[in-house]
């Protein structure tokens, strides 16, 4: 995809369409809106006056006009941005995505966007390009007809008075992030007969080679040797062998604190029947996305390999299929995890925490001093927070605060839930060190987190429960329904700030 940055002569861009941000209650009596209003014969003033277009976030108004002079465009799109006082660089992601999807449906191949920078032109460019790229993801990969194969092939960003280099650098970074989000979304969208643990490992390995990451795949024999009894208990009922994907990024020059290592760890359950504690048939098809945490890790590591930050990052994915057969783990079985703790398994459908237990312990054994894990862990988080916020819990308040702050900058929302010794009492077992469920229906998301915490020794740790935010049930103006690649942008912002 081609991209270009311009800092003057917005109307002279060599494109099919022009798109401009309009704030709530804005009038077309000055500046670029006044000029564009003349171009379309006063129609902007008309729709604003009648409130046919109010400038709400993602709202659009479309005009056709006759191209004149140097201007090749004959289409104009107004895109609402809401209240001007609330506007920030991360909003450009939503705005550019909405413009892209609207124009793409009308077979427009190129457009120029004037997003109204909030002062940070580089971050404006990042958000704009992320939106253009990620908004073109669709679910129709396996359709043989009626595919949405229309695309935006050329994008021009206009920010008046900005430095062209800042815009170009931002566009490049935004394209990498957008492509990496779509890489993660493609993984999450794959049918489970195609994306089993071995295939997930193969794709991670191929990606690592392409972007310059080191990749090691631990097979079941290796995991058994390491004592990963908690993780292995989940795979016994499946004919598909489990894999642990280990991705390493090592910068040529390090600027972070010596000895510090960030690990991002993802749950990669490629399909979850619930095992012996089998799920109801209704809705079980959605369990192909139970590996979304792992997809986020792989997509984030892809971007890291291309962006080349100056801090090392370790990515770990526990890729397992949870199935019921004669060899499957039974409720009441006791297993021993990598750190020596014994676990009484009372519900085989609480399997995500079992694989993450050994994955975070392995990350710390590899030298990780900060660990962020992410998983579609609990249905309880959907009841608590819906699909608008990702739950974050952790043992270090500064780390939790930083994740929330990075999320705000990136345009993703996180909400902290409590964690503590009183909650940990709920997972004490009568016959083993701990049990994998506790408290009945109470505090389900928190109970899942305190279980994982039992396998953290000294590292700073945060847990992201993305069960409510990893999948969109409905299409939005700026993205298709389906996998969202949630947390990729936040994690990359966190890495950026760690340099």
Q: Can you give the CATH number for the domain in which 386 is found?
A: 3.40.630.10
Does 439 map to a domain? yes
Q: Does residue 16 carry a pLDDT above 90?
A: yes
* Same-domain check for residues 289 and 375: yes
* Same-domain check for residues 224 and 286: yes
Q: What is the pLDDT of residues 291-335, one digit of tens each?
A: 999 999 999 999 999 999 999 999 999 999 999 999 999 999 999
Residue showing tokens 């991209």: 3
Nearest-CA neighbor of 358 among 225, 499, 465? 225
Does 166 map to a domain? no
Does 484 map to a domain? yes
Of 108, 126, 160, the residue at which a domain comes to its end is 160
* Same-domain check for residues 65 and 135: yes
Does 344 map to a domain? yes
Q: What is the pLDDT of residues 84-139, one digit of tens each?
A: 999 988 899 999 999 999 999 999 999 999 997 767 899 999 999 999 999 999 99
* Same-domain check for residues 408 and 281: yes
Q: What confidence tier does 283 reach under pLDDT thresholds 50, 70, 90?
A: very high
Q: Does residue 449 carry a pLDDT above 90?
A: yes
% of the chain with per-residue pLDDT over 90: 90
* Same-domain check for residues 241 and 140: no
CATH of the domain at 64: 3.40.220.10
Q: What is the pLDDT of residues 156-172, one digit of tens each?
A: 999 988 999 999 999 99
* Same-domain check for residues 116 and 210: no
* Same-domain check for residues 224 and 96: no
Write down the pTM of the prediction: 0.97
Residue 67: the pLDDT is 80
Of 160, 192, 209, the residue at which a domain comes to its end is 160
Nearest-CA neighbor of 63 among 45, 81, 49, 50? 45
Rounded to whole angstroms, the Cα distance separating 289 from 291 reads 5
Q: What confidence tier does 274 reach under pLDDT thresholds 50, 70, 90?
A: very high
Does 281 map to a domain? yes
Does 373 map to a domain? yes
Residue 161: the pLDDT is 87
Least confident of 32-36, 332-336, 341-345: 32-36
For range 338-355, the mean pLDDT: 98
For range 326-354, the mean pLDDT: 98
Residue 69: the pLDDT is 66
Of 103, 127, 160, the residue at which a domain comes to its end is 160
* Same-domain check for residues 186 and 122: no
The alpha-carbon radius of gyration of the chain (Å, integer) is 24
* Same-domain check for residues 221 and 324: yes
* Same-domain check for residues 156 and 216: no
Does 16 map to a domain? yes
Task: Name the residues annotated as catalytic.
Answer: 279, 353
Number of domains in the chain: 2
| HSE (side-chain half, CA atoms, 13 Å) at 362 | 31
Does 296 map to a domain? yes
* Same-domain check for residues 232 and 156: no
* Same-domain check for residues 348 and 480: yes
Containing structural domain, residue 366 = 182-497
Q: What is the pLDDT of residues 192-208, one digit of tens each?
A: 999 999 999 999 999 99
């Amino acid at each position: 995809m081609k991209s270009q940055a311009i800092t003057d002569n917005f109307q002279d861009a060599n494109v099919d369409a022009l798109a401009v941000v309009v704030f709530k209650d804005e009038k077309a009596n000055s500046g670029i809106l006044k000029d564009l209003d003349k171009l379309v014969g006063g129609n902007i003033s008309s729709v604003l006056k009648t409130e046919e277009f109010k400038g709400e976030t993602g709202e659009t108004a479309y005009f056709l006009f006759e191209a004149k002079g140097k201007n090749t465009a004959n289409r104009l799109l107004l895109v609402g941005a809401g209240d001007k006082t609330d506007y920030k660089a991360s909003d450009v992601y939503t705005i550019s995505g909405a413009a892209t999807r609207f124009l793409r449906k009308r077979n427009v191949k190129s457009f120029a966007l004037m997003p109204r920078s909030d002062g940070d032109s580089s971050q404006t460019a990042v958000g704009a390009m992320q939106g253009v790229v990620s908004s073109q993801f669709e679910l129709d990969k396996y359709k043989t007809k009626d595919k949405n194969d229309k695309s935006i092939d050329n994008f021009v960003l206009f920010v008046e008075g900005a430095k062209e280099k800042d815009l170009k650098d931002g566009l490049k970074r935004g394209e990498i992030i957008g492509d990496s989000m779509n890489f993660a979304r493609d993984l999450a969208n794959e049918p489970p007969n195609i994306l089993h643990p071995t295939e997930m490992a193969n794709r991670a390995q191929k990606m690592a080679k392409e972007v310059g990451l080191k990749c090691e795949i631990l097979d079941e024999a290796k995991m058994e040797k390491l004592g990963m009894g908690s993780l292995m208990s989940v795979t016994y009922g499946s004919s598909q062998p489990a894999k642990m994907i280990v991705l390493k990024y090592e910068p040529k020059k390090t600027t972070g604190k010596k000895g510090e290592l960030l690990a991002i760890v993802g749950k990669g359950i490629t399909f979850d029947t619930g095992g012996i504690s089998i799920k109801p048939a209704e809705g079980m098809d959605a369990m192909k996305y139970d590996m979304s945490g792992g997809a986020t890790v792989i997509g984030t590591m892809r971007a890291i390999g291309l962006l080349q930050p100056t801090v090392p990052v370790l990515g770990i994915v526990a890729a397992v299929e949870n199935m019921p057969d004669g060899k499957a783990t039974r409720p009441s079985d006791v297993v021993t995890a990598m750190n020596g703790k014994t676990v009484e398994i009372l519900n085989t459908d609480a399997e995500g925490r079992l694989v993450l237990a050994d994955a975070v312990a392995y990350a710390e054994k590899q030298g990780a001093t900060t660990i962020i894990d992410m998983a579609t862990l609990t249905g309880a988080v959907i009841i608590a927070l819906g699909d608008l916020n990702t739950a974050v819990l952790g043992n270090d308040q500064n780390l939790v605060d930083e994740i929330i702050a990075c999320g705000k900058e990136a345009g993703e929302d996180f909400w902290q839930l409590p964690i503590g010794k009183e909650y940990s009492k709920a997972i004490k077992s009568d016959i083993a060190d701990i049990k994998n469920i506790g408290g009945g229906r109470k505090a389900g998301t928190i109970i899942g987190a305190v279980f994982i915490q039992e396998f953290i020794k000294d590292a700073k740790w945060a847990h992201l429960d993305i069960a409510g935010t990893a999948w969109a049930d409905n299409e939005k103006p700026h993205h298709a329904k389906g996998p969202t690649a949630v947390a990729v942008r936040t994690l990359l912002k966190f890495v950026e700030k760690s340099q």
